[in-house]
A and B are shown apart, each in its own frame.
Chain A
Amino acid sequence: MNIEITKEIIFNYLSGRASALQKRMIDDWVKKPENEELFYKWLVEYECQNPQYSTDIAAGLDRFNQLANQVDENPDWSILSESEAKEISRFSWKWWAIAASIISVLVSGWVYQDAFLYKTHRTEFGETQTITLSDGTQVTLNANSSLEVPRFGFGKKTRQVRLAGEANFTVTHTVDNQRFVVKTEKGVEVVVLGTEFSVYARRKEAKVVLNKGKVQLRYQVGKTQKELMMKPGELVTFDQSNHLKKEITDQPEKHTAWKEHRFVFDDTTLEEFVRIMADNYGLKVIIADDSLAQRTLVGSFRANNADELLEIVSEIFNLQITKVGDTVLLTDK
């Protein structure tokens, strides 16, 4: 029962008068690329014959030309979408200068008002916490981290939070494409355009991993403000002097493994493990000799607390654990 799909059938279909059977046939028919081409051709014909309202082509083109001019002048913007380009142009150098001067005045006033102006979410060593912000954005805080959220005006005009430590963000898109900005102590700013990512900001280092969507990084090198667009799967690290390193990670999820109390080690030295223990559990781990410190761990482990993690690692390397208060000594058995 192969009925030929004609323009008439498609027109009927577009006007909502096709039968269920015809719809099913069209669904099949259109799977062939040449038919899909034909479909769009007829669609254009139909829409031209049945306009919903009359558009102002010149105005539309004007709008395009203005934006295109900006792109031509700033090739870096090429990966942005229109709304983002507008957003940035609105905040171009002039506004930055004005905004910066206002902010610097305000910041000095703010210093003493933090407790009043911000609600602080803090996690203890070994604790993770999931917070839902008033705009629906979800933040999972890793251990020993704090997130400051403005008590007033959050989500009205801006969405800005401050982070110390490590967190994963799933940002909710707003009607007016409002940006979500994560500030870190280092002056690295993550500007979000609807997305999922994690930020790590401890010991004057910063790390950003992007799982989904698009974010823009703003950071300071010397006195100049720089910007970088990130794509999903990218990992950007900043060292203590704000030198940037960009790599591609094929497993962005391993950077958020901590959300499920999983620890992913990928050629991780015991030395680095010491840092992880300090960051997450506040434990001071001492490794008896240097050659031991250079041995590496590979694999993904689940551990609910510091003791479990220590036990796993010591078992792998056949180590002796001696624990005194917050200090742990690891020695060869």
Chain B
Amino acid sequence: MKQVNNNYIETKGTPITTPLSTSDDKKVVEFDDELFIRKTFETNAREGIALLYKRYYQPLCTHAVKYVGSRETAEDLVSEIFFQLYANKTFSDITSSYRFYLFRAVRNKAYNHLRWDLSRKADLLEAAQKPTLDEHQPDHISQFEELYHDVEEAVNKLPIERRKIYLMRKFEGKKYQEIADELNLSVKTVDVQLHRANQYIRALLKGKWLLSEVLVVFGLIF
């Protein structure tokens, strides 16, 4: 009896032959680096999400922050994507790679967030007529890159001191008080500098990236 049992355990313990060699589905082979995650999703969705977090959270946040300029917002957007992936059970419908899904989603979200952000402080009358920007998608992939490169450029154009404060706040996530202490400034000064930095970046981006929206509004009126 003992022998049989041992044998049984042993066969069970041997590693399963690599699924790649047994599967002839082309798609699976293409995304082979995610195969393990895919298999995990079949049995435990929470575990699958955890694996995706470990693999893609960092690059996703890095990507999103280039648009939205603040790590907090970037992390909000990214975790919203993961949450929806889980809560709506979208993971079971994904036929592309998870990477494809996640990055496409984060780019769309970040793109729209930034455009919405640019529009929201417009004067009241303008804001009232602006449609929600949720579903907008650029026609060309290069528009995504163009947008965050513009953001980067705008940040780089800031005067050195102001840029330093801006980056400490947005990228390092420091509090006003911390920045003030570190640079030997008053909190008030930090506040003013950040406000000016935001306004400057906003002004630079707005002309180019909200023009299309104005056209849409006119289209609706006439």
- For residue A14, which residues in chain B have a CB less than 8 angstroms away from its CB? 145
The 4 residue pairs across chains A and B that have the minimum distance between CB atoms:
A47-B59, A82-B83, A136-B127, A23-B142
Question: How many residues does chain A have at the interface if contact means C-beta atoms less than 8 Å apart?
Answer: 55
B83 to chain A, nearest CB (A): 4
Stretch at the interface among A60-68, A94-102, A112-120, A254-262: A60-68
A231 proximal to B (CB < 8 A): no
**Contact in complex: A36, B100 (CB < 8 Å):** yes
A173 to B119, CA, bound (A): 11
A174 to B119, CA, bound (A): 11
A27 to B141, CA, bound (A): 6
A37 proximal to B (CB < 8 A): yes
A16 proximal to B (CB < 8 A): yes
B200 proximal to A (CB < 8 A): no
- For residue B89, which residues in chain A have a CB less than 8 angstroms away from its CB? 78
**Contact in complex: A26, B142 (CB < 8 Å):** yes
State whether A52 and B84 are in contact (beta carbons under 8 Å apart), knowing that A27-B140, A40-B100 are contacts in the complex.
no
A48 to B60, CA, bound (A): 9
- For residue A52, which residues in chain B have a CB less than 8 angstroms away from its CB? 61-62, 65-66, 71, 171
- Mask: chain A, 17-44; 1 = CB below 8 Å from B; 0 = not: 0000001101100100110110111011
State whether A16 and B152 are in contact (beta carbons under 8 Å apart), knowing that A27-B141, A30-B141, A68-B49 are contacts in the complex.
yes
B30 proximal to A (CB < 8 A): yes
How many A-B contacts are there with CB distance less than 8 Å? 142
- For residue B53, which residues in chain A have a CB less than 8 angstroms away from its CB? 57, 60-61, 64
Stretch at the interface among B2-10, B74-82, B177-185, B190-198: B74-82
**Contact in complex: B59, A48 (CB < 8 Å):** yes
- For residue B104, which residues in chain A have a CB less than 8 angstroms away from its CB? 40
A79 to B140, CA, bound (A): 30
- For residue A212, which residues in chain B have a CB less than 8 angstroms away from its CB? 132
- For residue A174, which residues in chain B have a CB less than 8 angstroms away from its CB? 120
**Contact in complex: A82, B80 (CB < 8 Å):** yes
**Contact in complex: A53, B79 (CB < 8 Å):** no
**Contact in complex: B79, A173 (CB < 8 Å):** no
B151 to chain A, nearest CB (A): 11
A40 to B56, CA, bound (A): 11
A213 to B134, CA, bound (A): 9
Interface positions, chain A 45-75, Cβ under 8 Å from B, are 47-48, 50-55, 57, 60-61, 63-65, 67-68, 71
A295 to B215, CA, bound (A): 46
Contact of B141 among A39, A78, A79, A134 (CB under 8 A): A39
Shortest Cβ distance from B97 into A: residue: A37
Q: Can you name 22 A-B pairs with beta carbons within 8 Å?
A: A16-B149, A16-B152, A37-B31, A37-B96, A41-B97, A41-B99, A47-B58, A51-B62, A54-B58, A55-B58, A55-B62, A60-B57, A64-B79, A79-B87, A85-B83, A137-B128, A172-B128, A172-B130, A173-B116, A175-B120, A213-B132, A213-B134
State whether A68 and B99 are in contact (beta carbons under 8 Å apart), knowing that A54-B58, A78-B88 are contacts in the complex.
no
Shortest Cβ distance from A77 into B: residue: B87
B172 proximal to A (CB < 8 A): yes
**Contact in complex: B57, A138 (CB < 8 Å):** no
**Contact in complex: B124, A44 (CB < 8 Å):** no
Q: A24-B142, A67-B87 are in contact. List 19 more A-B contacts (CB 8 A).
A: A37-B30, A37-B97, A44-B103, A47-B62, A47-B63, A48-B58, A51-B59, A54-B58, A57-B58, A60-B79, A61-B54, A64-B79, A68-B49, A82-B83, A83-B76, A85-B87, A132-B124, A173-B132, A194-B134
**Contact in complex: A80, B87 (CB < 8 Å):** yes
State whether A81 and B84 are in contact (beta carbons under 8 Å apart), knowing that A26-B142, A60-B79 are contacts in the complex.
yes
